[in-house]
Amino acid sequence: MTENVPVAPATTPEQAKASAAQIIRDLDTTSGYWAAVWTICCLPDAHVICDAPIGCFNLVGTAVPDYTDAIPHIENLTPSVMREQEVTMLGTAGAVRRAVDGLRAIHPDRQMIVVSTAESEMISSDHGDWLGKLDPPVSFYWSRSLEDDEWVGRDRVLLWLWKNFGQGGVKDQPVLARAVNIIGPTYGCFNSPADLHEIKRLIAGAGGVVNLVYPYEAALKDTPRLSESAVNVVLHREYGDGLAQELGKPFLHAPVGIRETTDFIRELGKLLGAGDQAEAFIEHEKKTTLQPIWDLWRGPQGDWFSTTEFAVVAGRTYADGLVKFLGDELGMKLAFATGHPIKPGEMDNIAVRNFLHKRQPGFVFGSINEKIYLAEAGARATHFIPAGFPIPIVRRALGTPFMGYSGAVYIAQEMVNRFYETVFNYLPIDTVTPAGGGTGGPPGPAAADTGTLIWSDAARAALEARVEGIPWLSRISAMRDARTQVEAYALRQHINQVTPEVVQRAIA
Amino acid sequence: MSEMTKSIPAENPSSNHQGLSAPSDLGLTPQTMCPAFGSLRVLTRIDGLQTAMVTDAGCLYGLSFVTHFYAGRKSISAPVLGTKELMAGNIAEAAIAACTEAAKTPGTKLVAALSLCVAETAGLTEEMLPAQINGVDVVLIRVPAYAIHTHPEAKDIAINALLKKYVAPARKTDATGVEAPLSREGPDLRHQVILMGEVFPVDPLSVDMVLKKMGASLASNLPSRNLDDYRIAGKVGAIAALHPFYTRSVATLRAAGVPIVSGAPIGADGSYGWIKGIGNALKLDPARVEEVASEEREKCRAIIQANRIEGKVHICGYEGNELGYARLLVEAGAQALYVSTSIEKSLYTAADEAWLKAHGTVEVVYRKTLEQDIRALDKHKPDLVLGTTPLSVEAKLRGIPSMYYTNQLSTRPLFLSAGLAGTISLIKDALSRAPRYAWMREFFTGENDATDALNAKPVINTMD
């Protein structure tokens, strides 16, 4: 048995230096390697061989996309299967060669692309030269997994795909006047099928014709067709600008919120020479898709938005978009917002965790990390709304976008319905079946018999202090519960004057 | 639509992919969750234990994702570890900093530092970490995926690391070779058993009931949420290593002088043999043990007789406990022509393999690959496949009823007579769902040879 006597912490030189190391909690952004696999594997005529130990293959190809993209596994991904002997003695060329030869027998029509991983980069496994000499040549992509995050990684691999499989194939392809490409999504982009569906709808409304959705609905052999469009739409602000700039056409970012969406349709219409059609579409949308926002705004629900607080931790597009829509347009109060990639001044997860442990806004848009922090804090009155990875979730239905007009309606609808949930859960109820062996009926006589109790101002202030930090919506019932608790205690103790001390003792 | 949209597959990428054609004799894709997850799953569930992971961003993201989902729902600390930090050679400092952050959580009794591929390659070793940080114990768990091949084996590594920390060395003997008496806390630990292996929560209760009939009882079940359960592991009368992959933990406990019983109480023969083994290890009254074991065997047989199944079933998991499960299905009437697992062949798999081979199993494959499992579909044409995620995809693509082995296994009892009915009826039910799998396949792929084949047979369970 180990002696478990606490000892004074010895400060070794390592421990002293350790205080300088940068620490993260619950990492929310993955690496350049994941970006490469999740981008290239959307293209069914490409096959990625990851130069990886079995774990890096399973996580990126099966374990995680099962729960981010609701696909059983990524089928066009195979590992080189790095083992101890490859790491310490042999290097991975033999393992990669075996995978290449094996896969060519099964999938002779696919373009093989070998992608480096953190571990292969650790041992400097660069296979570019010899893979290029194979017949037909196999491509090698150094994913900078030890340097780049998933956003930089997606941007970089999209550009690499264009330079290696697109640019050279462009032969007298005409630019089609109203053709619009959408750059993004890839695997692992939160809610992308619904957002993509909405953006396609907006493009059509503004007079455009969707040409290529790259890479999500494209094949590798389609890559040269990126040159055909008149305008490009970049679905996420997190990545894709690099490719859009290289393509040299005007490009727009997909919009979130009413104002941004209106600007988007208008600008796209102008770029396509379809200004009138775009204006007509906006007018029609106001009376159809977007009408619920106007109705909710004029109804009692509209008042509630301005008195409710929210927080966001999500991808940059969603974080900025929700702040604009919920904060600027609907007038909700913002507790805090953090986007990925993070900007200077935004809270990291350690700060977010500390914040949520102390105070919980009525609505938190986030990932499983924020959900964990809320659970750690025992938050009961906060609505958690999934808004970004990491989190296991199915978002394959097309009717749940955050982007565009449909997105504005979906978000507002979702929040009002959560509000109704709160009302349902917090209204006083008479139970039919007694809980804990009581007699059923109303929660107890305390409140009814307490008309003679005198509350001092200080006691009332102490009670109010108790419910601070609880979202407004739930504060009514929290206040009622706390008051009932204090008064029941006072009655039991035959106290007729409630002081701060009584509050303290009653809600200890 | 204009002509330029013609060649666009207006579909999600996942719908573009066809299934794997049966490959030649290749084995390209070993089947396992990231091995390190096995350790994380065991460790993050322990009360008072906090985790620090020493690894690169991609690995950290993936393992945090699955751990938050399936295992601990517990915040995970880690150092930033990119080229810059690795080049600077500050791996020990980074690990210590992450452990220090992890230890800040109130109530922390133990910090587990997980050393993964990149940290191992950078040379993180046990000597670099202090035994305690700010008064909290620290244990290093080394699970690089390139050296540990499957996630069951990583569970063994995590449990063994805790046992090594908490289990005392072999019992002392006096000059005449007699064992010194154990300290007694509550009931005599020498008449108690610890189950080693993850099981459905009801199974230990069934085991305890049977043990009590023989004058013994269950002390606990490892992996456990309670660190104290690791502390008493060296003092109990026997360890029942339910699954064959706990080789390291078993070696540690054997060295501490604890008798080990291998195998699990699954099915009629399995339950009988297991009860006898436990009786032997605990030196219980042989007559009473025989009586209880026979009674349990008879109960199992009665249940099996009343719940016969028919059909060819492939059992192809990566959990390392597929062989025992296959035995049960065979006893219940199924043909298990093909059984595969990700763990390696060992002393502890021998008995089950021999039993299966004697009862019609043609192939038992260890360290299997996806390609081997798929070839077996072509060869044996099973009626039901209990598989890994990718194998189940392939089976369903062929219209063969299939379920993900891990999930099905972990959601119902399995042990002794109490565990039989649920498991057998699950399989029976799955076998009867063939028309649904055929219908789905035909609807989505337009292929229907399975439907034709089924139409030739009487359809057991129609859609209406």
Please report whether residue B181 resides in a domain: no
Q: B187 pLDDT band (50/70/90 cuts)?
A: low
- For residues B261 and B276, state if they share a domain: yes
Please report whether residue B91 resides in a domain: yes
The pLDDT score that the predictor gives to residue B458 is 42
Q: Among B96, B122, B148, give the residue marking a domain's end.
A: B148
Please report whether residue B86 resides in a domain: yes
Please report whether residue A16 resides in a domain: no
- For residues A223 and A261, state if they share a domain: yes
Lowest mean pLDDT among A467-476, B142-151, B251-260: A467-476
The pLDDT score that the predictor gives to residue B417 is 95
Complex-level ipTM: 0.88
- For residues A141 and A247, state if they share a domain: no
CB A49 within 8 A of CB A96: yes
- For residues B339 and B439, state if they share a domain: yes
CB B86 within 8 A of CB B62: no
- For residues B399 and B349, state if they share a domain: yes
Q: How many domains does chain A have?
A: 4
Please report whether residue B318 resides in a domain: yes
Q: Provide the chain A residues 107-126 that lie in CB contact (below 8 A) with chain B.
A: 117-119, 121-123
Phi, psi of B277 (to 5 degrees): -60, -45
- For residues A96 and A143, state if they share a domain: yes
Distance, in Å, from the CA atom of B282 to the CA atom of B193, rounded to the nearest integer, reads: 8
CATH number for the domain spanning A100: value is 3.40.50.1980
Cα dihedral angle (A13, A19, A20, A23), rounded to 10 degrees? Answer: 130
Please report whether residue A155 resides in a domain: no
The pLDDT score that the predictor gives to residue A218 is 98
- For residues A129 and A70, state if they share a domain: yes
Q: Among B301, B335, B364, give the residue marking a domain's end.
A: B301
Please report whether residue A202 resides in a domain: yes
Please report whether residue B343 resides in a domain: yes
User: Which domain range does residue A67 map to?
Assistant: 32-148
The pLDDT score that the predictor gives to residue A502 is 87
Please report whether residue A156 resides in a domain: no
The pLDDT score that the predictor gives to residue A404 is 98
The amino acid occupying position B100 is T
Q: B175 pLDDT band (50/70/90 cuts)?
A: low
The position carrying tokens 């909690």 is A25
pTM: 0.88
- For residues B312 and B274, state if they share a domain: no
CATH number for the domain spanning B44: value is 3.40.50.1980
Helices (H), A437-471: 457-467
Q: Among A277, A308, A338, give the residue marking a domain's end.
A: A277
- In the sheet with B132-133, reading across from the earlier edge strand, the strands are A23-25, B76-79, B49-54, B110-115, B136-142, B132-133
Q: Provide the chain A residues 321-380 that lie in CB contact (below 8 A) with chain B.
A: 350, 353, 368-369, 372-373, 375-376
- For residues B114 and B69, state if they share a domain: yes
Please tell me which residue, B388 or B71, carries the higher pLDDT value.
B388
Distance, in Å, from the CA atom of B265 to the CA atom of B249, rounded to the nearest integer, reads: 20
Could you write out the DSSP letters of every residue in B356-395?
Answer: HHHTT--EEESS-BHHHHHHHHHHH--SEEEE-HHHHHHH
Please report whether residue B462 resides in a domain: no
Angle between helices A291-298 and A275-287 (to 10 degrees): 40
- For residues A399 and A453, state if they share a domain: no
Q: A139 pLDDT band (50/70/90 cuts)?
A: very high
Q: How many domains does chain B have?
A: 3
Please tell me which residue, A482 or B347, carries the higher pLDDT value.
B347
Of A9, A23, A69, the CB nearest to B98: A23
Please report whether residue B138 resides in a domain: yes
Calculate what percentage of chain B has a pLDDT beyond 90.
78
CB A114 within 8 A of CB A138: yes
- For residues B43 and B142, state if they share a domain: yes
B57, A31: Cβ pair inside 8 Å? yes
The pLDDT score that the predictor gives to residue A459 is 86
Which residues of B are less than 8 Å from A25 in CB distance?
A: 75-78, 101
Question: pLDDT digit string (tens) for B389-438?
Answer: 999 999 999 999 999 998 877 788 999 999 999 999 999 999 999 999 99
Name residues whose C-beta falls within 8 Å of residue B319's C-beta, 6 or more positions apart in sequence.
Answer: B152, B243, B341, B342, B405, B406, B409
Q: In the predicted model, what is the mean pLDDT of chain A?
A: 90
Count of alpha carbons within 13 angstroms of residue A433, beta-carbon side:
2
Asked whether residue B220 carries a pLDDT value surpassing 80, the answer given is: yes
CB neighbours (10 Å) of residue B457?
Answer: 8
The pLDDT score that the predictor gives to residue B344 is 93
Question: Which contacts (CB < 8 Å, 24+ apart) does range A93-96 have?
Answer: A93/A125, A93/A127, A93/A130, A95/A51, A96/A49, A96/A51, A96/A125, A96/A127, A96/A131
- For residues B211 and B291, state if they share a domain: yes
Asked whether residue B9 carries a pLDDT value surpassing 80, the answer given is: no
- For residues A140 and A192, state if they share a domain: no
Reported residue count of chain B is 464
Which residues of B are less than 8 Å from A149 in CB distance?
A: 57
Distance, in Å, from the CA atom of A53 to the CA atom of A30, rounded to the nearest integer, reads: 17
Question: pLDDT digit string (tens) for A250-303?
Answer: 999 999 999 999 999 999 999 999 999 999 999 999 999 999 999 999 998 888
* Chain A contact present for B130, CB below 8 A: yes
Distance, in Å, from the CA atom of B327 to the CA atom of A392, rounded to the nearest integer, reads: 34
* Chain A contact present for B82, CB below 8 A: yes
- For residues A417 and A456, state if they share a domain: no
User: Which domain range does residue B210 map to?
Assistant: 189-301
- For residues B315 and B276, state if they share a domain: no
- For residues B286 and B335, state if they share a domain: no
Q: Among B124, B148, B172, give the residue marking a domain's end.
A: B148
CB neighbours (10 Å) of residue B200?
Answer: 18
- For residues B197 and B140, state if they share a domain: no
Distance, in Å, from the CA atom of A442 to the CA atom of A428, rounded to the nearest integer, reads: 8
Could you write out the DSSP letters of every residue in B286-302?
Answer: HHHHHHHHHHHHHHHHH
Question: pLDDT digit string (tens) for A66-94?
Answer: 999 999 999 999 999 999 999 988 999 99
Q: A1 pLDDT band (50/70/90 cuts)?
A: very low
Strand, helix or coil for residue A115: strand
Please report whether residue A435 resides in a domain: no
Residue A16 tokens read as 């002293």
Distance, in Å, from the CA atom of A192 to the CA atom of A317, rounded to the nearest integer, reads: 12
Distance, in Å, from the CA atom of B85 to the CA atom of A377, rounded to the nearest integer, reads: 33
Cα dihedral angle (A22, A23, A29, A32), rounded to 10 degrees? Answer: 50
- For residues B247 and B293, state if they share a domain: yes
Question: pLDDT digit string (tens) for B348-393?
Answer: 999 999 999 999 999 999 999 999 999 999 999 999 999 999 999 9
Please report whether residue B11 resides in a domain: no
- For residues B429 and B391, state if they share a domain: yes
Nearest CA in chain A to B167: A1
- For residues A249 and A362, state if they share a domain: no
CB B23 within 8 A of CB B136: no
Of B58, B76, B97, the CB nearest to A30: B58
Nearest CA in chain B to A99: B28
* Chain B contact present for A142, CB below 8 A: no
Q: A453 pLDDT band (50/70/90 cuts)?
A: confident
Rounded mean pLDDT, B290-311: 96
Of B20, B86, B168, the CB nearest to A1: B168
Please report whether residue A298 resides in a domain: yes
Calculate what percentage of chain B has a pLDDT beyond 70.
87
The pLDDT score that the predictor gives to residue B365 is 96
Q: Among A148, A178, A203, give the residue marking a domain's end.
A: A148
Q: Which helix (H) or strand (E) holds A49?
A: strand A46-50
Distance, in Å, from the CA atom of B137 to the CA atom of A202, rounded to the nearest integer, reads: 58
Q: Among A396, A425, A454, give the residue marking a domain's end.
A: A425
